[in-house]
Copies of this chain bind each other. A is one copy, B any other.
């Protein structure tokens, strides 16, 4: 398990499609922001700092499973509750729960890995074992 961070989103007109409801890819975008926020709240430096000091360039998605229960619309205030429900050797499992007040709008579980850019091919990425210090900061 891990700490939990809450990331706030205020839905705006332009987040909504012709039905007047939030487009699903905006939830993906917000959960990605919620993941970055989670690590910052836990004391992990941002990736542009991590890349400079340790070569860790990001933590891309390997898989995501999302269930949508209720739609969101313009003006809604959302709270995304993010934690890590499992650490494996090279990946970790994020859980995001998107709430509007006491109501759960959607839930995701994500599989992510920390990656470096190998020296021999700097335009590729390669997963590394989860760094122990990052795991400790988040626990």
What total of chain A residues lie within 8 Å of the partner, measured CB to CB?
45
The reply to whether the CB of A73 lies closer than 8 angstroms to some CB of chain B is yes
- 25 A–B pairs (Cβ distance < 8 Å), ordered by A: A12-B33, A14-B17, A14-B32, A16-B17, A16-B18, A18-B18, A18-B19, A18-B48, A18-B74, A21-B60, A23-B29, A24-B32, A24-B61, A24-B64, A25-B28, A25-B29, A46-B75, A48-B73, A48-B75, A52-B123, A62-B67, A63-B65, A63-B68, A64-B65, A73-B123
> In the bound complex, what is the Cα–Cα distance between A90 and B77 (angstroms)?
30
Residues of B within 8 A of A37 (CB): 10, 12
In terms of DSSP, what is the predominant structure of the interface of chain A?
Answer: mixed
